[in-house]
Amino acid sequence: MKAWYLIYSKPRQERLALENLQRQGYETYLPLMRNRRRRKGRSLVLIEPMFPRYLFTRLSADTDNWGPIRSTLGVAHLVRFGDAPAQVPDSLISTLRAQEDADGIQEPPKPDFRRGDKVRIVDGAMAGYEAIYYAKTSHERVVLLLEIVGRSAPVQLSANSIERIL
């Protein structure tokens, strides 16, 4: 009977570990997530591991050879609790896979803004300005109240262009 186990990779080598384990015939899974990051003032969409440095492999305690896993390029070690390898419930893997899109990537949850929340514009010509969240107009657009020359003016922007100010 096979079960899922947790592998800890070397820093930023999850994909290398995945590729090398698959090349050796191991069944593996690396959940990926589409993340929005800011670099040098620009907003980028990156596809990154959901759990940095962790990936999953499905093994049989009776029939699979676990020895080569430790020396696989990109792998730091198999996660253990005491002497036993960390077993992951099948339901967790199923849940993660069910939330993926057709490309096998998960979308992060969209922030839930409320009227009156303070936000910062992070993209476009108004990047850096602070505003007040007013309303959502569609799936991708929001209305903000921007203070311009002492008056609040409504501005419509992409929902991905703002972040909450804490």
10-residue mean pLDDT profile of the chain (166 residues): values are 95 96 96 81 82 95 90 95 92 92 84 88 84 84 84 85 85
* pLDDT recorded at residue 76: 96
Token output for 10: 């070397």
* pLDDT recorded at residue 41: 67
Residue 19 shares a structural domain with residue 56: yes
C-alpha 75 chain-centroid distance: 20
Residue 67 shares a structural domain with residue 135: no
Residue 54 shares a structural domain with residue 129: no
* pLDDT recorded at residue 68: 94
Per the document, the length of the chain is 166
pTM: 0.69
Domain hosting 159: range is: 118-164
Q: Does 112 map to a domain? A: no
Q: How many domains does the chain have?
A: 2
What does each C-alpha distance from 117 to 19, 62, 113, 164, 165 come to in angstroms? 44, 56, 7, 7, 8
| CATH code for the domain in which residue 63 is found | 3.30.70.940
Q: Does 111 map to a domain? A: no
Residue 70 shares a structural domain with residue 124: no
Residue 35 shares a structural domain with residue 102: yes
User: Which residues are paired to 60 by β-bridges?
Assistant: 2
Residue 141 shares a structural domain with residue 102: no
Residue 38 shares a structural domain with residue 74: yes
